[in-house]
Amino acid sequence: MASLLNPALSVGLTSNGRARRVRARSLVSPASVSFSRRRLTIRAAETDTNEGTVKPQVPDKAPAGGGSSFNQLLGIKGAAQETNKWKIRLQLTKPVTWPPLVWGVVCGAAASGNFHWTLEDVAKSVVCMMMSGPFLTGYTQTINDYYDREIDAINEPYRPIPSGAISEDEVITQVWVLLLGGLGCAGILDVWAGHTFPIVFYLALGGSLLSYIYSAPPLKLKQNGWIGNFALGASYISLPWWAGQALFGTLTPDIIVLTLLYSLAGLGIAIVNDFKSIEGDRAMGLQSLPVAFGAEAAKWICVGAIDITQISIAGYLLGAGKPYYALALLALIIPQVFFQFQYFLKDPVKYDVKYQASAQPFLVLGLLVTALATSH
């Protein structure tokens, strides 16, 4: 993604708006160039303010050595450029997004009231976690990157697909392997649990279809900030919970309604990731909430969805005669609000990762509190 910079010329605008070419030496002091074995560093003084400010273009590739190998493996921003295809394939699946799905399976198993710490039940839950996390979440993230390749060419051109680090044919192959692997795990779980109706398989199939229409045209649910983010929230909260509960017990209508309500908090979490893509979303006509309402209003929609949803769930638990669980959930909301003001509301782009790392552990603990409340 290193952009090709011409050190001899700079472009400015005259007062009548026509472009003109100006020698860089008239605008900047001599650039200092330092070489090392690993990288080239260029430092230049500020431009003359009388000539106007020229914003740097987004680089075509990440600066060599400028990223983290750990971030690359997790599939988050700040990743180092990688040539190893298996590491690139792992990056496309974004392992950092797996834990909420794995946790959802834990919550569903807990809510079933029928999970026991036996070798068989633990093995079942591990296979269910593999289905929900590496396979189907990996499928979701890979197919999302595939259909977002044009947007990523604007927002994050150094990502594996727009940068050419992996071919589109290789990505399509990965999509099919992950999808079939996840559906295969679901079928095995139904047989293992002795289900006469393959409920886990149909949940996996439905979730996979939802992932596809979220990212792919012509529906491309993500084009609408409300529908797309709620679908994403339901995929991360409701579906793995349903799979875990159906595996060990019975999925009941009240649990379906409760988890769909909790998915409104997932909608808020999904909005967090939209702020970094405002430029590309606007260019591609995607009506994410930060694009539709502006960044300032979208910040408050985001935290409102997260906080009001959890407070409503706490009220439900209190009304259901579970006051201690309700108080525990309220106690877990307090640090989330603190970190919202500490990080997210100050700058949702700069602090998005720090905010999520700080606040989301309390949200997922609240999910478990709710699951345990429904199991008793």
Secondary structure of residue 181 in the 3-state scheme: helix
The DSSP code for 276 is: G
What does pLDDT average to over the chain? 84
Integer-rounded Cα Rg, in Å, for the chain is 24
Among residues of the chain, what percentage have pLDDT more than 70?
A: 79
Q: How far apart are CA 57 and CA 168, in angstroms?
A: 25
Secondary structure of residue 34 in the 3-state scheme: strand
pTM of the shown model: 0.78
Q: In the structure, what pLDDT confidence band is assigned to residue 68 with cuts at 50, 70 and 90?
A: confident
Q: How far apart are CA 357 and CA 239, in angstroms?
A: 22
Alpha helical stretches, state H, the chain: 69-74, 85-93, 98-112, 119-130, 138-147, 149-155, 168-193, 199-215, 225-248, 253-272, 278-283, 289-293, 295-319, 323-339, 352-375
DSSP 224-264: BHHHHHHHHHHHHHHHHHHHHHHHHS---HHHHHHHHHHHH
Length of the chain: 376
Asked if residue 314 has pLDDT above 50, the reply is yes
Residue predicted with more confidence, 353 or 231: 231
Residue 183's pLDDT is what?
Answer: 98
Contact 90, 353 (CB under 8 A): no
Residue 73's pLDDT is what?
Answer: 66
Q: How far apart are CA 51 and CA 146, in angstroms?
A: 41
